[in-house]
Amino acid sequence: MPDKLKIYFANRAWVHGVWAKDVLLSVADDGTWASIQVNASVDQQRDATRLTGPVLPGLVNSHSHAFQRAIAGMTERAGEREKDGQDNFWSWRDRMYSAAQRITPQQLEAIAALLYAELLQAGYTQVCEFHYLHNDIGGKPYANPLEMSLALVRAAQRIGIGITLLPTLYMRSGFSAAGLQHDRPLRGDQQRFASAPDLIFKTCEGIQSQFGSYLVHTGLALHSLRAVGQGALQEAAAYATSKRMPIHIHVAEQTGEVTDCLAIHGERPVEWLLNHVALDASWNLVHATHTTPAELQGVKSSGASIVLCPTTEANLGDGVFDLPTYAKMQGSWAVGSDSHVARSWQEELRLLEYSQRLARRQRNVMAGATGQPSTAAALFNAALAGGSSACGLPTGGLLAGHRADFSVVDTTSAALLGVPADHLLDAMVFSSPDARLAEVYVAGKPVVQAGRIGSWRGLADDFSNAMRVLWR
């Protein structure tokens, strides 16, 4: 093989959705996989760097609000109640807003850097950052409109994780009736989010011109149907399509959103998108918790993907997505950690399956819906494929031409002790606490060794200092 290839050897690796034996993994100069060879002979293995455990491809964290890492554990006490006497998503949102008003660019970078290190150590090698903290604490544009975006990109570069930055359009505080000439204005505590299509486009172009590489990518996000009107939504979608960017949108997360959309437009949120927007494979519908089978079929037929965030959806009391129906349709989906109450893909997949079991009083729901023998494999393979759509990059596994992202499993983890090799992924997903990863590689280069990123202590100190200021 050419000298420029870096060659690794793994006794086992996850190739084409199953465990393969004696795998040679060859990385080209550009950080992509040059080739994946299974059943390599002893002679072929001789000059390769031997990895210490089984290899899994890196996963995409397909939905992140990095600043919300600062409120993990900080909203779990009953505070101001809604009129019906219950704490819910909308009261949580008010508490989240109160934190969002205080975060400076320096604090955001410190918070995001620790978060991204946690994600990387967990085996996420790319993060889709749904970014809507555009303006300063007073709600005015920064002298450099990219100020907060740059903080996120610097954090990702410091850690070595890939990032798809999704500058987010946020223009109004709620649905407006069809035909009205003006939208409901943003609330005072939403002024940091204020944006217009032109600002979003310039942010995308500014980041790409300064950092565009295989580790820094951009897409575009629309906060929600309640925050973006039809005209601006279609303008932004047309721009993203012209640039071949992924498009993300929060949709149908809460029953209140569904009710409001029906009242104003006579259609449910996902139904409205299907009827008014040319959905295609570039679209990623975040949550889509409250959808009908007909809507799910429409999403599947369009080629769009759904991004599920099970730990956040559980934390906020959103509801349970109808995964079995969508999986039987072979719909595309990915996972994200959203508000970051958890930072582990293993926990996301475990809760995704367990929520279905609780709702249906059945076991191995995802395996039954897909006809696969292993529930963990069905979950992992779907999340792997959907993540590539979410980030707009070829990151869907150990495949030639895809970025060479992978993790090495620590088989001395308590959850894996004595587990037969063929059941390793099952134990990783369904035996807790989570199995550890010994090493993580991005673009063929080690970024996590001995289970931790090398700069952890400094990251932890910076994060702790930011938290002390935010919560004093």
CB burial of 203-228 (b: ≥16 within 10 Å; e: otherwise) equals bbebbbeebeeebbbbbbbbbbbbbb
Q: Quick count: other Cβ atoms within 10 Å of Cβ 400?
A: 12
Phi-psi category of residue 457: left, alpha or beta, with phi > 0 → left and psi -120 to 50 → alpha: alpha
Alpha-carbon gap, residue 337 to 310, rounded angstroms: 8
Question: Does the annotation count 287 as an active-site position?
Answer: yes
Task: Considering the candidates 338, 405, 434, 462, report the single residue annotated as catalytic.
Answer: 338
Quick one: 263 exposed, middle or buried, by C-beta within 10 A (0-12, 13-18, 19+)?
Answer: exposed
Indicate the DSSP class of residue 80.
Answer: S
338 as an active site residue: the answer is yes
Q: Cα dihedral angle (401, 333, 69, 200), rounded to 10 degrees?
A: 70
Query: Quick one: which of 226, 372, 220 has its CA closest to 284?
Result: 220
Whose structure tokens read 């299509």?
197
For residues 318 and 339, is the Cβ–Cβ distance under 8 A? no
CB 440 within 8 A of CB 58: yes
Q: How far is CA 369 from the centre of its chain?
A: 23
Instruction: List the structure tokens of 302.
Output: 């369009």
Q: In the 8-state DSSP scheme, what is residue 193?
A: G
Torsion of CA 342, 112, 398, 56, to 10 degrees: -40
DSSP state of 434: P
Please state whether the peptide bond connecting residue 433 to the residue before it is cis, i.e. omega within 30 degrees of 0: yes
Among 436, 391, 340, 428, CA closest to 114 = 340
Distance CA 396, CA 385 (A): 5
287, 290, 340, 402: which is the annotated catalytic residue?
A: 287
User: How far apart (Å, rounded) are the C-alpha atoms in residues 10 and 409?
Assistant: 11
Closest CA to 60 of 389, 409, 452: 389
> What is the set of active-site residues?
287, 338
